[in-house]
A and B are shown apart, each in its own frame.
Chain A
Amino acid sequence: GAVVSQHPSRVICKSGTSVKIECRSLDFQATTMFWYRQFPKKSLMLMATSNEGSKATYEQGVEKDKFLINHASLTLSTLTVTSAHPEDSSFYICSAPLRGEGGYEQYFGPGTRLTVT
């Protein structure tokens, strides 16, 4: 089946620094990828839609200058958390859609645990 990877799986950074998270579709191309944030004991919150070759689309309330998204190729999207603060600590998950029977299905990456100290 389709595989989506994320790197790193876990990162600890100091407050004020920036962190880049990569999302790759390993065996299929994705013109669109999605970034989610998951708080402890909470559901996934869609942050933004990453579009290959154009600007990302951000959900309401998500700071686009804080969470920079770049969709550099058909298999890679990156999320950069700029000037990270402890409240940015969270589990970040990406997904990529692949067309199957009956429509598209989302394939999720394994997630990246960000801890800002």
Chain B
Amino acid sequence: AQSVTQLDSQVPVFEEAPVELRCNYSSSVSVYLFWYVQYPNQGLQLLLKYLSGSTLVKGINGFEAEFNKSQTSFHLRKPSVHISDTAEYFCAVSRRGGSYIPTFGRGTSLIVHP
């Protein structure tokens, strides 16, 4: 089984500042890793994913994440945030080569202040 830990339930930040949302996972097998964004009263939108290859993954809206196998982490970063980035962010893992049902973290609420 896999599990995902998002260490911060809420991250407040000022506009144009950099941000990092932390994600750690636990799994006995190789996994795929995902970050999703959810705007209020909407479904989930895929920001980026790591399947294989380069450990630095670039996604939409200027976000990127780095897979660190030794630290079992997949932190999400953005060098300069906008007000419109205010949303809930979910890290997820799914077992490589097997069940493709993602296991989600509890989410991190990113709050961007003007």
Task: Give complex CA distance A108, B44 in Å.
Answer: 6
Interface flag for B43 (CB, 8 Å): yes
Contacts of B100 in A (CB 8 A): 97, 103-106
Instruction: Spot the interface stretch: B21-29, B65-73, B102-110.
Output: B102-110
Interface of B is mostly: loop
Contacts of A93 in B (CB 8 A): 43-44
Interface residues of B in 35-93 (CB under 8 A from A): 36, 41-46, 49, 51-52, 90
Residues of B within 8 A of A (CB): 9, 32, 36, 41-46, 49, 51-52, 90, 94, 96-97, 100-102, 104-107, 109
How far is the CB of A57 from the nearest CB of chain B, in Å? 10
Task: Give complex CA distance A74, B20 in Å.
Answer: 40
Contacts of A43 in B (CB 8 A): 90, 104-107
Q: A108-B36, A111-B43 are in contact. List 15 more A-B contacts (CB 8 A).
A: A41-B9, A41-B107, A42-B106, A43-B90, A43-B104, A44-B44, A44-B90, A93-B43, A95-B44, A97-B100, A103-B96, A106-B100, A108-B44, A110-B42, A113-B41
Q: Is the CB of A109 within 8 A of B43?
A: yes
Interface flag for A102 (CB, 8 Å): yes
Q: Which of A42, A97, A108 contacts B43 (CB 8 A)?
A: A108
Q: Is the CB of B101 within 8 A of A42?
A: no
How far is the CB of B81 from the nearest CB of chain A, in Å? 21
Closest to B91 in A: A43
Interface residues of A in 54-95 (CB under 8 A from B): 91, 93, 95
The answer to whether residues A44 and B104 also contact, given A93-B44, A105-B49 and a CB cut-off of 8 A, is yes
The answer to whether residues A42 and B42 also contact, given A101-B51, A102-B51, A103-B32 and a CB cut-off of 8 A, is no
Q: Is the CB of A105 within 8 A of B43?
A: no
Interface flag for A46 (CB, 8 Å): yes
